Structure 1
């Protein structure tokens, strides 16, 4: 049933003209102006204030506002699957920048040359099962797959490892402040059986669509680190705080 719903959405994207998801221009899907807007000005390091403990360096390409917000919501909540490719291209830029982060001593973990030959492991922050069921797709995982494809086409080995699991039910994050989000997510994520072996294959970048307080990314990095992953950074499409990016 889940796969059939996705198939119908993808077919509808191909045969039914849609208004631009960003600005609403009729029958354009994603207009040239909004497509250019998504390309942004390149990835930049962003930092929630205050940053939660354990938050890795986070790169974002866009500010979560106006057309960018509309496009992300159209993909996430309304199942506009055609938007996964352009959003994945944005996420690929942020992930590539995150992979360039260096350790405190100034050298990339394991050495830059060696890391460049190993696949970059993109680990999506998981959505709650009820949310995936309601939406009919997993938006972050879909964008991560598109981002990995973009990175490979650019010559950077990359793969998606969906190894994070929700260990308990969490409340809806909407409306929670930074402290409440940290409490809501503390200890909420774990990893699948055998994740350590998979995570040892390369440097890890945690990926999500949006960063607000950083609580989700920090909890994801904690769970991956406990499983033996080397988390070198986090990458998101957009940052919601003013001035970030």
Structure 2
């Protein structure tokens, strides 16, 4: 019920640009350009954990881009899911394209599996931001002619600490073994290649744990895609993609 009311309010109430505050527009042209102007590229953390899939990302997590992501995630600006989903879709295309037919890409739909938020976080926010962006990205991919679906089959098996205050090693230890899959996930994961998706990459610990859990359930993880990249992860040379 809370999410329904939030969606209604988001549609009818006037809003300022989530990125820069320009009045009466959810996302101004300039901020939309900052989101869409960056090509998807492969990124790597200096402290990437073992088992992390190749990660492709859009713009840097800074300034207006950071403000837009936080507005969607923490303030429930749900109309931002569509433009953020379009950015994520480009990163998914790059990840799938880099993996290629040898990894099974093209055999079945792309399965976009979002990294799950803690239940308490979803309850506090009134929505699951990464799942919502994944749904938008899957729709964007289908409109572009690529079979895709969001497949939210990951679940937290135990409570984890807030990642914000942890260093790379602390993040790995915090998340190790924390994720599992829902009943029946193996059948669903067998329908096509898997791309793990999230809104942000910092150390890659969440993506690595998600890939591990999906692999144990029989998923063919071909890569990972995120909307934005933090300063802890950097682009690799020569990896830009449309």
TM-score range, shorter chain: over 0.9
* Distance (Å, rounded) in 1 between the aligned partners of 2:227 and 2:40: 9
- Equivalent of 1:26 in 23, 28, 48: 23
Shift of 1:13: 1.9
**Equivalences, count:** 235
Pairing 1:191–2:185 present? no
Kindly indicate whether residue 4 of structure 2 is the aligned counterpart of residue 7 of structure 1: yes
CA RMSD, 1 decimal: 1.2
Give, in whole Å, the separation in 2 of the partners of 1:101 and 1:243.
Answer: 19
1:157 matched residue in structure 2: 147
**Separation in structure 2 between the aligned mates of residue 146 and residue 243 of structure 1, nearest angstrom:** 25
- Cα contact 2:18–2:68 (8 A) shared by 1: yes
Q: Residue 107 of structure 2 contacts residue 193 of structure 2 at CA under 8 Å; is this kept in 1? A: no
Q: What aligned pairs does 1:58-207 form with structure 2 within 5 A after superposition?
A: 58-102=55-99, 108-110=102-104, 115-207=105-197
CA contact (8 A) 2:201 2:233 kept: no
Distance across 2 between alignment mates of 1:147 and 1:54: 24
Give the whole-Å Cα distance in 1 for the aligned partners of 2:57 and 2:19: 18
Residue from 210, 215, 223 that aligns with 2:200: 210
Q: 1:56 aligns with which of 53, 58, 64?
A: 53
CA-to-aligned-CA distance 1:53-102 (integer Å, 9 cap, x gap): 00000000110000000000000000000100000000000011111123
- In structure 2, the gaps of 5 or more residues are 236-242
Q: CA deviation at 1:116?
A: 1.9
* Runs of at least 4 residues off by over 4 Å: none
Give distance in 2, aligned partners of 1:92 and 1:24. Answer: 26
What is the TM-score normalised by the length of structure 1?
0.93
Deviation (angstroms), 1:215 = 0.3
- 1: CA distance between counterparts of 2:177 and 2:233? 30
Shift in Å, 1:108: 2.3
Q: CA deviation at 1:244?
A: 2.5
Q: CA deviation at 1:242?
A: 5.6
Whether the aligned pair in 2 keeps the contact of 1:122 and 1:160 (CA below 8 Å) is yes
Name the CA distance, whole Å, in 2 between partners of 1:102 and 1:207: 15
Partner of 1:205, secondary structure, is: strand
